[in-house]
Structure 1
Amino acid sequence: MTASAATSESSTAIERTEGIRTEVDAAIQQSVGRCIQETDLSIGERTVGKVRDTYVVGDKLVIVTTDRQSAFDRLLASIPFKGQVLNLTSAWWMGKTQHIVQNALLEVPHPNVSIMQRCSVFPVEVVVRGFMTGSTETSLWTHYKAGEREYCGNTFPDGLRKNDRLKENVVTPTTKAADHDVPISPEEIVAQGLVSQEDWNLISSAALELFAYGQQEAARRGLLLVDTKYEFGRDSQGTIRLIDEIHTPDSSRYWLADTYEQRHTAGQEPQNVDKEFLRLWFRQNCDPYKDETLPEAPVELVTELARRYVLLYEMITGEDFRIPSLEEDPVARMKASVQKALQS
């Protein structure tokens, strides 16, 4: 699949990515305002996160990926089919990477739902980066632009520009927190007792190997995997497992490979097919960290992000995105599918 972009003539000047099937585009338009924002599966103990609703059921976690869209530690919008794309993309990658590290995925009973093995979570996010970029407070470019050359135990030379490719992939971990993440070095992780040296060596090596594999597979599909985050845990038998989404457009940054060099040379932002598109719009229209009230995401932004998510899913998996029934109650169908899976 190929993709090109054209600038919208609307006042929001939102760049439109081409390559989406007509029926998918129509379904996205119909689904604005009908997204999966809340769930109540009437099982276990529910925890509501920024994007996911998690249900603890014995030694299993039932994780529902909703269409809620967060960035800057805030809820910004709801994006049609976003939850389905994230859940199925992650499941696809988990099926492809078990030769690198085991994961906690047990079953996908519904496009928005994964049943996972319950694990004890390491309290750090292992962020891996291949480019000098980003727009959030924890991004590499934000700190580098401010003059920092030492970041999370890595040293960077002077003279780098935004969106430059790094000489080698680097790990820039953060602590896990409910409201925001904090950059931390591997030495601090071990010194603070967050993760033992032995476990850190294992999960950081696994993260770098996962990322290198992801970059290789992305390149074969016309994409650049720019950066991502991984989360790991240990199961009841002591096995370390990948426990959270992998290489999705929420946890990762993707650029279209065929236009990267030309646009970068011209000082333009790369064509991205992830939520950086949304972050950049809010950065341009408000201060998403300080403003008490944020502008409402325009419909053009919401639908374009949905289109990019679906495009990324199809480019990565090689499969056509399956449009869910627009007539059924998605949460009711989800509830029935999950209960059937748990009973079996």
Structure 2
Amino acid sequence: MDAIKSTSLSFENATDVYKGKVRDVYYFGKKIAIVASDRISAFDVVLDRAIPYKGQVLNQIAEKFLKMTADIVPNWLESAPHPNVHVGKMCDAFAVEMVIRGYLAGHAWREYKAGKRMLCGVALPEGLKENDRLPTPIITPSTKAKEGHDEDISREEIISQGVVSEEDYKKLEEYTFALFAKGQEFANERGLILVDTKYEFGKFDNEIYLIDEVHTPDSSRYFYQEGYEERQANDVPQKQLSKEFVRQWLIENGFQGKDGQKQPFMSEEFVKSVSDRYIELYENITGETFEKASYTNIQEEIFNSIKNELG
């Protein structure tokens, strides 16, 4: 199956290039062009197989939500000249990810199941089970590692260690709660539950901006609203739209990104099922039919779209 595993574009006026887990970033002074590849990561490890259309899905959902939330906090995005490309301000990123959770799922559940009742300095009540709604949304930040695994960190540690100033961190918290409320409201209107998500922020000309992606299946977890209560009452796994099912498949096949573990083989059938799941989320969350961009000459089209935008 066709997919964008990587890009190696050569621009005369580019000042730097950075290859992240999923995105290829091209720097042009105070501007950046980000190419959303079809790479997929789990447990902070890039998997061997790329997922067709994943980059396009992430890019177009992010664009929609960045525009939708611009009245809450300014964001870095200026244009989307190609389905896989975003162009905007080169912000100085804060070294934390603002993870916010409305339900006990994923990493938070795995920690809770292991007996922990304190997550990132936030106390969790006794008697919860997987996927239960939390009394109120909680922020559980993590460090943003350039390599290796991100790690949980508390509000107090962030401020005391000088990772983010107290003044700025209060603004990040304010923006995070407001963005999450907006995302939950939008999801609810479409029969979905926004379970948890993460936001990244940076500064441009000393002003805080929302950066990266927003409310995509890579940064967020969604449940289907219909049948949620019944599934919880019957201790049945929730029907969800996120890449958590990829993590679960990896766990079942003996891989959690730990030293010495080998990635399981991803068959064509499994890769297609992941691609279909991403497209399903796009159509559910946006209410629009997904239009697949052609992979014929896609690298050239991406190059030209950036060149035309940034010279």
TM-based fold match above 0.5 = yes
Residue 128 of structure 1 deviates from its aligned partner by 0.2
Alignment of 1:98-109 (within 5 A): 98-109=70-81
Alignment of 1:102-121 (within 5 A): 102-121=74-93
Alignment of 1:122-141 (within 5 A): 122-134=94-106, 139-141=107-109
Distance 2:291 2:187 in 1: 21
State the partner residue of 2:246.
278
TM, length-normalised to structure 1: 0.86
Q: Name the aligned partner's letter for residue 285 of structure 2.
A: I
Matched, 1:78 2:46: no
State the partner residue of 1:89.
61
State the partner residue of 2:219.
251
Q: Deviations over 1:213-247 (max 9, x none)?
A: 100100100111110110000102x1100011000
CA contact (8 A) 1:51 1:68 kept: yes
Residue 292 of structure 1 deviates from its aligned partner by 3.1
Distance 2:292 2:255 in 1: 35
Residue 315 of structure 1 deviates from its aligned partner by 1.8
State the partner residue of 1:151.
119
Distance 2:52 2:164 in 1: 38
Residue 144 of structure 1 deviates from its aligned partner by 1.0
Structure 2 unaligned residues grouped into runs of 5+: none
Residue 339 of structure 1 deviates from its aligned partner by 0.7
Distance 2:265 2:234 in 1: 31
How many residue pairs end up in the alignment?
Answer: 305
Distance 2:119 2:283 in 1: 35
Q: Deviations over 1:32-55 (max 9, x none)?
A: 2x1001112212221111111011
Distance 1:56 1:65 in 2: 15
Q: Secondary structure at the match of 1:144?
A: helix
Distance 2:210 2:308 in 1: 25
TM, length-normalised to structure 2: 0.95
Structure 1 unaligned residues grouped into runs of 5+: 1-31
CA contact (8 A) 2:92 2:202 kept: yes
State the partner residue of 1:24.
none
CA contact (8 A) 1:110 1:334 kept: yes
Q: Deviations over 1:47-106 (max 9, x none)?
A: 111111011111111111100010011122311100000011000000000111110001
Q: Among the aligned pairs, what percent are the same residue?
A: 45
Task: Report the RMSD for the aligned CA atoms in angstroms.
Answer: 1.2
State the partner residue of 1:55.
26
CA contact (8 A) 1:278 1:301 kept: no
Distance 1:157 1:318 in 2: 36
Distance 1:311 1:126 in 2: 26
